[in-house]
Amino acid sequence: MIRMRINGVEEEVGVTTIAELLVVRGVDPASRFLAIAVNGGVVRRAEWPSRELSPGDTVEIVRPLQGG
């Protein structure tokens, strides 16, 4: 388990990559209009399966919301 901040909330998660984090959180990595930033830097979709996460990382999962 590693401790990190995900969308502004401190959490402990048992994952090692961005792709694993998305699956655990119920987010389809193939979804359109999905962006991931780690420590303020956007991570390209092609890197999600191999981009390792470390304790203390700040991860932002950004996807559009419907509404008006």
Q: What is the pLDDT along the chain (68 residues), one digit of tens a residue?
A: 999 999 999 999 999 999 999 999 999 988 888 999 999 999 999 999 999 999 999 999 998 776 65
Domain 2-62, second-level architecture:
Roll (3.10)
Residues 6 or more apart from 63 whose CB is under 8 A from it?
Answer: 27, 31, 33, 34, 35
CB 4 within 8 A of CB 55: yes
CB 49, CB 19: distance < 8 Å: yes
